Structure 1
C-alpha cells in the first residue's frame, strides 16, 4: 500500500466512525429516555472535547512522531465508537462523548499533519481529495447504519462490530504510512498551541467556510420544510445532495488547486457559494432551495482542506499550524448551528441564510490569507510571540 493510499484510507476510516455513530443517535435517545434538551447538551460534549484537546495535538505528534501518533489516535477513535451504546446513564454518556470528541479532534489534527507532510513530499496538492475520502467513508458508513437501524439491529451490537472492523482496517492503513520523520533540530511545538497572528488570518477564512458548512448541514432539511413546504423525503434529499456535492467537489478539488492555486479556488468557490445562498434566500420552492444548497456545498467544499494546508506552512511544524487553525474551525462548527437557529427564531429562516451568505462573501474577500508565506516569516513570528506553554 502506497503512502497516499494509506493516508486516504485513514481519512475514510475517520469519516466512517463519525458516519456510523450519527445514525444511532435516535437509539441512544430512546434507550436512555433523553429529552431533546438533554440530548443537545450531551452532543455538545463532543465538539467541546475536540476544542480542548486539539491545541495539544501538535506536541503529541512531535513527541511520538506523525505516523505513530496517527496510528494511536485513529485506534482510540475507532475504539471509542463502541462506548456510547454501553453508557448506563446520561452523565456517563456525556463523559463518553467528551472522550469521543477529544479522540476525534486529536486524530483530526495528526492525520491532517501527516497528510501535509506527504503533500510536500509529492510536490502537489492532495489534501482536498483526502477530505473527499472522509466524506465517502462517512456516507458509506451512514448507509450501513441506516440499514442496521431499519433491520432493528441493537446499537450495542452494531457499534461494537463496526468498531472492531474499523480498528482492523485503520491498523492496516497505519502500517502503510510513511515512517516517522526525525524531529532532531526542530523546535518542539508549544504544549498548548494558541494560534499565531498568521494562523489567525488563515483561520478566519476557515471560520467563514466552516460556518456556512455547519449551518447548511444542520439546517438544510429544516429550511426547505419551513420555507418551501417540502415533504420529509425531499427534506432528507436536500441534506444528502448537499453532502454529495461536497464529497464530489473535494474528490476533484486538487486538480483545480494545481491549475489555479489555492487562493483562486477559494475565491471561485466563494462566488459559487454566494450564488447558492442567493437561491436559498430567494427561492420558495423545494427544488430551487435544493439547487441553492448544492451550490453552497460545491462552493465551501475545499475551504477547510486548503485552510489546513495553508496553516501547515504557517506554523513551526505542520502539527502546530493545523492544531491552531483546527481550533478555530471547530469553534465555528460549534456555534454555527446555534447562531443560525437564533437568527431564524428572531428574524426568519431566509434572514438567517442571508447572514450566512454575507459570511461566505467575507470568506471570498479574505482568501488572500492562504498565499504561501515567505521563507523565514514563520521563525520570525515564533521569536516575536510569547510562549504558551
Structure 2
C-alpha cells in the first residue's frame, strides 16, 4: 500500500518530470512554430505569468476542497494539456498552451506543498527538503527523457503523449494515498476570507523575501550560468551546457540529506547558513576568473539554495497552522506567489544589468542579494510566534543545552 509520504514524493517527481520534459524540448517547439527569439521569449512568459495568477487561487481551492482534490484535478489536467504543446503551429498558440500548462502546474506546486506540510505535521519530521529533492529528480528525469526523445527524432507531440500517459497512470496509482481530505463545511466556510490578514503579516513577508531571493538565484543559475561561462570564462559551449547540471545535481543530493541536517540544526539556522553558502558560491564564481572555480561556485550555490525554498514553504505552512492541525494554505499561496515573481522577473533583470555592465557583475550582485537570506532567517528566528513547527519545537527543547533559543 502506498504511504502518504510516498504519494506526496511521487507528485513532486511527476511535476518535476512534466517541467523537465517540455523545458528541454523548447528548441524543437521553437522550430515547430517557426518562432524568432523575441516571439519565443514572449511565449515563454505565459507559464510564469499564469503561475503568479493561479497560486493564490490554488491556495483558496486547497483551503476549501483539500489538497488531494486539487492535485487530482490540476495534475491530471497538466498531463492532458502537455500533448497540446506538440500540436501548436504558431508562437501565439504555443504561448496560450504554455500559459494553460503553467497555470495548472502552478496550482500543483501550491497543492503539493500543502500536502507535504500535512505529512510533515503528521510524521513530526522535517521532510520538506526530501520532497523538493523529488522535484529536482523529476526535472532531471524529464530532461533525460527529452534528450532520448530528441535522439530518437520523436516529434514533441509523440514525446509528450508518452510523458502524459506515464503521468496519468502514476497519478491514478497514488492519488488515493494523498493527504488533504475535503474539509468539514464549517472549515470550508472559514476558508472564504482572511487573505488580507495574511498579506499584512510581517513574518510572511520575511519568508516571502527568502523565497524571492532563492528564486532569483535559481533562475539566474538556470538561465545565465552557461552564457556566463562561455563569455566571461572562455569555456567551450558544450562544457558550459553542463554547468546547470552541476548545480541541479548538487541541489538534489543536498536535499536528500536535508532531514538529518534540519533535525540537527533547526530550520532557522539552516536557512541562515544556506544563504551564506549560496552567496559565497555565486560571489566566488564571479570574483575568481577561472573556469573550474566557476563550476565549484555553482555547485556550492546549489548546495546552499537546496534548503531555502522548501524550508520557507514549511515555515509558511506553520505560520497558518490551526489548533486542529490544519491550515496554512493561504500562507503557502502568498509566499509561492512572491517566489514566482522572482522566477519571472529575476532573469530579465540580470540581463539588463549585464547589458549595462557584464555578466560577472550580474552574478556577483545576485550573490549579494542571496546573502540577504541570512538576516531574514535570523529575524524570523528572533520573532517567531504562534504555533511552532515540530522541528522548531525541538530547537526550543535544545535551549537548555545551549543548542537553541526560546520563542518570543
Q: Is the 8 A contact 1:202 1:369 kept in 2?
A: no
Root-mean-square deviation (Å): 1.8
Q: Is the 8 A contact 1:117 1:318 kept in 2?
A: no
Q: Is the 8 A contact 2:287 2:364 kept in 1?
A: no
**Which residue of 2 is the match for residue 104 of structure 1?**
105
Please report the TM-score for the alignment, with normalisation by the length of structure 2: 0.89
Give the length in aligned residue pairs. Answer: 377
In structure 1, the gaps of 5 or more residues are 378-389
Whether 2:281 is the aligned partner of 1:276: answer yes
Q: Given the superposition, is the C-alpha separation of residues 141 and 118 from structure 1 closer, same or farther in structure 2, using an over 3 Å criterion?
A: same
Q: Is the 8 A contact 1:243 1:297 kept in 2?
A: yes
SS state at 1:180 partner: coil
**Which residue of 1 is the match for residue 191 of structure 2?**
188
**Which residue of 2 is the match for residue 384 of structure 1?**
none
Whether 2:323 is the aligned partner of 1:319: answer no
Report the CA distance between 1:283 and its aligned residue: 2.1
Query: Aligned match of 1:200 in 185, 201, 205?
Result: 205
SS state at 2:199 partner: coil
**Which residue of 2 is the match for residue 387 of structure 1?**
none
Q: Given the superposition, is the C-alpha separation of residues 190 and 105 from structure 1 closer, same or farther in structure 2, using an over 3 Å criterion?
A: farther
Report the CA distance between 1:62 and its aligned residue: 2.3
Whether 2:308 is the aligned partner of 1:297: answer no
Whether 2:349 is the aligned partner of 1:344: answer no
Aligned equivalents of 1:142, 1:301: Cα separation in 2: 19
| 1:98-154, Cα deviation, whole Å (9 max, x unpaired) | 111110111110110011011111111111100001110110111011011022111
Q: Is the 8 A contact 1:230 1:286 kept in 2?
A: yes
Please report the TM-score for the alignment, with normalisation by the length of structure 1: 0.93
**Which residue of 2 is the match for residue 88 of structure 1?**
89
**Which residue of 1 is the match for residue 153 of structure 2?**
152
Q: Is the 8 A contact 2:225 2:244 kept in 1?
A: yes
Report the CA distance between 1:172 and its aligned residue: 1.4
- Give matches, 1:112-191, under 5 Å: 112-178=113-179, 180=181, 182-186=183-187, 187-190=190-193
Report the CA distance between 1:191 and its aligned residue: 8.8
Q: Is the 8 A contact 1:189 1:320 kept in 2?
A: no
SS state at 2:97 partner: helix
Whether 2:244 is the aligned partner of 1:239: answer yes
Q: Is the 8 A contact 1:313 1:373 kept in 2?
A: no
Q: Is the 8 A contact 1:307 1:370 kept in 2?
A: no
Q: Given the superposition, is the C-alpha separation of residues 375 and 278 from structure 1 closer, same or farther in structure 2, using an over 3 Å criterion?
A: closer
Report the CA distance between 1:45 and its aligned residue: 0.5
Report the CA distance between 1:184 and its aligned residue: 4.7
**Which residue of 2 is the match for residue 364 of structure 1?**
374
Q: Given the superposition, is the C-alpha separation of residues 36 and 163 from structure 1 closer, same or farther in structure 2, using an over 3 Å criterion?
A: same
Q: Is the 8 A contact 2:118 2:180 kept in 1?
A: no
Query: Aligned match of 2:385 in 371, 374, 380?
Result: 374
| 1:160-199, Cα deviation, whole Å (9 max, x unpaired) | 1111111111221212213605345432154977733231
Report the CA distance between 1:225 and its aligned residue: 0.6
**Which residue of 1 is the match for residue 216 of structure 2?**
211
SS state at 1:86 partner: coil
